[in-house]
Structure 1
Amino acid sequence: MTHAHTATDSVRIDFAQAAPKAFKALISFDAAAREGLDPALVELVQIRCSQLNGCAYCLHMHTSEARRAGESEERLHMISVWRGARDFFAEHERAALGLAEAVTLVSDGGVPDAVYRRAAAHFTADELAHLLALISVINTWNRIALSTAKAPGTLLAG
């Protein structure tokens, strides 16, 4: 999937300042979504969704966080081609990445039963629910960052 992004010189809103209750609710949703999930898996999913959405701001943030948490450069480089990089990702990570793609690209035909079943085979009901919440919240953050033209390396709230 490709996106045509153009530089903008228009002033965009500061989402956190303009909608503080919504911003705080998203922060809370984000924190709740992560509960019970492996932090490394959280970053993999957020990176893949941000790649699919073309969100440089979130991609920069989550690859930086993954590096700080000890993720290898090799794995980071392989996320976008995870299907062909079998030796780099465990089966549960591959299932989560497949679900992340299906949910992110839901308008391309929904979430196929096989993708959902694969994820359900690797995660408990609670983990699966949190994974779905995580995918939903990163897609929301991507859309806010893209809509407000957030530049990589800057603060979302600033």
Structure 2
Amino acid sequence: MTTTDTQDAQSAPYAHEHTPRLDLAARHPEFYRAMLRLEAAASKEVDPALYHLVKIRASQVNRCAFCLDMHTKDALAEGETVERIVQLSAWEESRHFYTEKEAAALELTEAVTVLTDGFVPDEVYERAAKHFEEDELARLVGAIVVINAWNRIGVTTRMVPGHYTPGAYKK
């Protein structure tokens, strides 16, 4: 490849942005408001840094580009490191970037998110239970369930990533 070819490839426009399928908030506002209330309840008393990691990891697994855009921007704005966010997709190989408690939460996040692989294994749940008191664990499970619901909304309605401003959806 010549220098000119490389420059042309680098200056080529990006692919076109897709169009959302449905504005769920506008078409079913009662449901959307209920989801916002569920989000507010799920995030209560959960460590914000941990909550960001859980939201990002579930969104990676579910391939929800809108949620990845939102939650990585929010995490960065609140002080999370680029390195820890980048390593999330390979957290098991990058365990040294995370505490044991965070790793247990990430493992539980994956198990709850990918239920098509079977039930949440007892050993995964037990590892999480070693790091979280029951009330904390209940809140963590709630947080995982809510981000999975948001991911399904984002993917199904084809919400468009790239336009989110950090903190735009603060409770």
Match of 1:4 in 2: none
Alpha-carbon shift at residue 153 of structure 1 (Å): 2.6
Aligned to 1:91: 100
One-letter identity of the residue aligned with 2:118: G
**Moved beyond 6 Å, runs of 4+:** none
Residue by residue, what CA displacement relative to the aligned partner does 1:25-52 show, whole Å, maximum 9, x if unpaired?
1111111111111100000000000000
Report whether the alignment pairs 1:120 with 2:97: no
Match of 2:53 among 44, 48, 55: 44
Asked if residue 108 in structure 1 is aligned to residue 123 in structure 2, the reply is no
1:73 is aligned, of 56, 75, 82, to: 82
Pair 1:18-2:27 in alignment: yes
- Tell me the amino acid that sits aligned with residue 109 of structure 1: G
User: Which structure has the bigger radius of gyration?
Assistant: 2
Q: Does 1:30 align with 2:39?
A: yes
Q: Please name the residue that 2:146 is paired with.
A: 137
Distance 2:135 2:28 in 1: 30
Distance 2:94 2:163 in 1: 31
RMSD value, Cα: 1.7
Q: Distance in 2 between matches of 1:13 and 1:59?
A: 19
- After superposition, the C-alpha distances for 1:23-78 in whole angstroms (9 at most, x for unaligned) are 11111111111111110000000000000001110001000000000001111111
Unaligned stretches of 5+ in structure 2? 1-16
In structure 2, how many angstroms separate the alpha carbons of the residues matched to 1:80 and 1:50? Answer: 10
Q: Counterparts of 1:109 and 1:143 in 2: how far apart (Å)? A: 19
CA distance in 2, matches of 1:141, 1:150: 11
* Distance in 1 between residues matched to 2:44 and 2:18, nearest whole Å: 36
Give, as a single letter, the amino acid of the residue that structure 1 aligns with 2:45.
Answer: G
Q: 8 Å contact 2:69–2:162 — kept in the other structure?
A: yes
CA–CA separation in structure 1 for the residues paired with 2:158 and 2:82: 27
Residue 84 of structure 1 aligns to a residue whose secondary structure is: coil
* Contiguous gaps of at least 5 residues in structure 1: 1-6
Normalising by structure 2, we get a TM-score of 0.83
Aligned residue for 2:108, secondary structure, equals helix
TM-score norm. by structure 1 comes to 0.90
Aligned length in residues: 150
